[in-house]
Amino acid sequence: MEILAFGVQADERPLIERAFHGHDEIRCLDVFLNEDTAPIAAGHEIVSTSVNADLGAAVLEILAAGGTRMVAQRSTGFNNIDLDTAERLGMTVARVSYYSPYSVAEFAWALAMAVNRRIVRASTRTRDFDFRLHGLMGRDMHGRTAGVLGTGKIGEAFARIAHGFGMRLLGWDIAENPACMELGMRYVPKDELLARSDLVSLHLPLMPATQHLIDAPALKAMRDDAILVNSSRGGLIDTAALVTELRAGRFTGVGLDVYEAEAGLFFLDKSLEAIADDTLARLVTFPNVLVTSHQAYYTEDAVGQIVDATVKNVLDYREGRRSENVLVPRS
């Protein structure tokens, strides 16, 4: 039986093909799953999707009509999937509940340090043989305060790196992580964390309760010279409100690996096209903003674990086994 995998990156393809070898045939496509591409899946019982796939009701209806019975998403997040519709259609949906937290935590720190020390600006200058230091002054992280919103596995890994820098740690989550508390983290209300932190990093899932968690009032609560990093989900930040604050000259730096309207943009080459998204176009013009294309997870270690978990999810489906990765059916 052939499995159809949508949204496969070039670096990812050999890992997927090697992992499935000996189990199933797999056909890898670089196009993303949406209403236009969903008909391609006709006749495939199992499809695998990336985080930027559109798995809303309309797409799931097309998949089900074509014979698809299982969706294996290659990500932890699943806010792009209409689980109620999937359950109504009798489909099985699985995701990857765990992969290397260090991949994302380390990249979040790469963003933080890049905007703090003006690495991109410095690199651009030296390519033009401009070796002046004007405008490149950063700050020591040692002795400053890191605020971690979301202290699960990734947030904990981020906090451990911050602890290594010698930073004070503030945390906010629905449950306290004892490992973070052993590092000296104090859990405080969100507004207090925002007001006291020199660096704020987001490590939360996107759900209705966290949509635009960092909205206009939250941004105004932050220090004018703070650094904001988001390597989790774009919808955690109200981007229009962020642009307003940036236009007012606030924040030392903002590092974003995700964007709330990234679907249809990220993972694609749009270099020869006019970008219709005015908010994103404005965002990338700020000299203190660094935007990357949802690559925090993209290490050999993490992608290998994601692919291995996806293979296991498919085998579990075939054998009628249930694991913690199964989202639908819910019982």
Catalytic residue annotation: 233, 262, 294
Q: Which residue has the tokens 């796939």?
A: 53
Cross-strand partners of 5: 28, 48
CA distance 29 to 10: 10
Q: Which residues contact 117 (CB under 8 A, 6 or more apart)?
A: 136, 138
| b/e code 69-85 from CB counts within 10 Å (16+ = b) | ebbbbbbbbbbbbbbeb
User: What tokens were used for 323?
Assistant: 């694991």
CA distance 165 to 329: 44
CA distance 119 to 29: 35
Helix axes 300-319, 13-20, angle to 10 degrees: 40
**Which strands sit side by side in the sheet containing 92-94, from one edge to the other?**
25-28, 2-5, 46-49, 70-73, 92-94, 326-328
Distances (CA, A) of 146 to 193, 202, 259: 9, 11, 22
Query: Is 61 in contact with 89 (CB distance < 8 Å)?
Result: yes
Q: Which residue has the tokens 């925002």?
A: 194
Residue type, 87: E
User: What tokens were used for 73?
Assistant: 């998403």
